[in-house]
């Protein structure tokens, strides 16, 4: 069984239609959670979800429906659930993210090429690719976990806890999280922009790289 889950803010739809509630489900044993950021990944992960014998929740960001396009192969193909993708190689710091956060990270990296940022797109949250994340963090020594959900109890906290346990000796700075504010999502567009994690990404990266 596959349940498609339209999600996310950025469209001015207010608190009733803009929540990022993937963390509600990631702790449920037996559920698989996927969250693509690109059209080609969306197709491959959806077909993989249909083939999978487990129930799969398939999160798709509403803001990306009409704001993003790319060539998608016509052939039938699947992308393995639980495998992250390295979007950009870097040496100074890692941004671990998923969904719309991937595009925020790419925009930051393009604006600050001197920062030499590595970007990991998780693509799946349950299971999530611990090996890929650990490999990146061990290489760069600095990590920012970027996610659209509210900071408290967001899935980024699970990633941070895992890295604290398994990569502590490789870190040159504290693990940092950049997430949305712990409040309901405003209807007003300007307030919504202040609510989202993107509004704090520049400042958080300055702290991380300057530590």
Tell me which residue of 120, 128, 147, 145 sits closest to 21, measured CA to CA.
Answer: 147
Q: Span 94-108, mean pLDDT?
A: 98
Tell me which residue of 79, 3, 94, 2 sits closest to 38, measured CA to CA.
Answer: 79
pLDDT tens, 145-160?
999 999 999 999 999 9
Tell me which residue of 140, 139, 179, 184 sits closest to 159, measured CA to CA.
Answer: 179
Gap between the Cα atoms of 33 and 65, Å rounded? 19
Q: Order of strands across the sheet with 32-34?
A: 2-7, 56-61, 32-34, 124-126
Supply the pLDDT for residue 14.
Answer: 86
Please provide the average confidence, as pLDDT, over all residues in the chain. 96
pLDDT tens, 162-180?
999 999 999 999 999 999 9
Q: Span 87-107, mean pLDDT?
A: 97
Q: Span 95-113, mean pLDDT?
A: 97
What band does 94 get if pLDDT is binned at 50, 70 and 90?
Answer: very high
Supply the pLDDT for residue 132.
Answer: 98
Supply the pLDDT for residue 15.
Answer: 85
Cβ neighbours for 145, distance < 8 A, ≥ 6 positions apart: 95, 96, 97, 156, 159, 160, 175, 176, 177, 178
What pTM was computed for the model?
A: 0.95
Name the packing angle between helices 156-166 and 130-140 (round to 10°).
60
Sign of the four-CA dihedral 147, 152, 154, 160: positive
Domains of the chain, first to last: 2-67 (no CATH), 85-210 (3.40.50.920)
Please answer whether residues 143 and 91 qualify as being in contact, where contact means their C-beta atoms are separated by less than 8 angstroms. Answer: no
What proportion of the chain, given as a percentage, has pLDDT over 70? Answer: 100
Cβ neighbours for 191, distance < 8 A, ≥ 6 positions apart: none
CA angle 69, 75, 77 (to 5 degrees): 90
pLDDT tens, 19-48?
999 999 999 999 999 999 999 999 999 999
Give the residue numbers marked as catalytic: 17
Does residue 39 have a cis peptide bond before it, meaning omega lies within 30 degrees of 0?
no
Q: Span 186-190, mean pLDDT?
A: 92
Please answer whether residues 145 and 201 qualify as being in contact, where contact means their C-beta atoms are separated by less than 8 angstroms. Answer: no
- Evaluate if residue 76 carries a pLDDT over 90: yes
Q: Span 86-113, mean pLDDT?
A: 97
């Amino acid at each position: 069984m596959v349940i498609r889950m339209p999600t996310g803010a950025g469209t001015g739809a207010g608190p009733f239609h803009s929540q990022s509630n993937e963390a509600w489900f990631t702790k449920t044993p037996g559920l698989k959670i996927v969250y693509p950021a690109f059209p080609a990944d969306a197709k491959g992960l959806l077909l993989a979800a249909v083939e999978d014998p487990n129930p799969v929740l398939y999160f798709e960001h509403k803001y990306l429906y009409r704001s993003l396009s790319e060539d998608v192969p016509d052939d039938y193909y699947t992308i393995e659930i639980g495998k992250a993708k390295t979007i950009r190689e870097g040496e100074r710091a890692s941004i671990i993210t998923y969904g719309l956060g991937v595009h925020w990270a790419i925009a930051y990296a393009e604006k600050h090429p001197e920062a030499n940022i590595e970007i990991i797109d998780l693509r799946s949250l349950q299971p999530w690719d611990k090996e890929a994340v650990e490999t990146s963090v061990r290489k760069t020594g600095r990590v920012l976990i970027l996610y659209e959900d509210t900071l408290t109890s967001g899935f980024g906290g699970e990633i941070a806890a895992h890295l604290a346990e398994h990569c502590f000796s490789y870190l040159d700075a504290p693990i940092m999280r950049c997430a949305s504010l712990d409040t309901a999502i405003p209807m007003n567009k300007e307030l919504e922009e202040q609510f989202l994690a993107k509004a704090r990404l520049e400042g958080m990266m300055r702290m991380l790289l300057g530590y």
